[in-house]
Amino acid sequence: MATYNITSDIFEYPKSYHKIVELNLVDFDVWYLMESGQATRRYFDLKERYPNRKLIPFARQDDSDDIACFEIGKGTKIQLIHDFTTEGFEQRHEFEDLWEWLEFAIKEMIFYNRCEAVE
């Protein structure tokens, strides 16, 4: 079974995150939860690219450089980050919590699959 957490000494994941992993809600076609190793690598990469932020990546979009992150000091809010861009231009959106982000990811999956069905 895959592991989806970065080491717990860096960040404590909210109960909502543990719940979606428990329910195996980890892959939404275009969005998916990163496994522990990938998330840890991205954590250190983000720390280097955006040193003024404390981003904890947990999901990425398959067809772009967008990633979803928790941010230390921002409570339950989820940051949608366009990675590999110039510092200061990485922020794409902020969600109130993980459930709002999950709803967004599911809507993206539905939109993607509807478009695929039309072709």
Secondary structure string (H, E, C) spanning the chain: CCCCCCCCCCCCCCHHHHHHHHCCCCEECCEEECCHHHHHHHHHHHHHHCCCCCEEEEEEECCCCEEEEEECCCCCCEEEEECCCCCCCCEEEEECCHHHHHHHHHHHHHHHHHHHHHC
Q: Is residue 12 part of a domain?
A: no
Q: Is residue 18 part of a domain?
A: no
Mind listing the pLDDT tens digit for each residue in 39-78? 999 999 999 999 999 999 999 998 899 999 999 999 999 9
Domain count, the chain: 1
Q: Is a pLDDT exceeding 80 seen at residue 14? A: yes
Q: Is a pLDDT exceeding 60 seen at residue 110? A: yes
Q: Is residue 44 part of a domain?
A: yes
Q: Is residue 98 part of a domain?
A: yes
Q: Supply the range of the domain harboring residue 91.
A: 26-118
Q: Is residue 8 part of a domain?
A: no
Q: Is residue 2 part of a domain?
A: no
Least confident of 2-11, 58-67, 90-99, 107-116: 2-11
Whether the pTM exceeds 0.75: the reply is yes
Q: Is residue 10 part of a domain?
A: no
Q: Return the amino acid letter for 102.
A: L
Q: Is residue 37 part of a domain?
A: yes
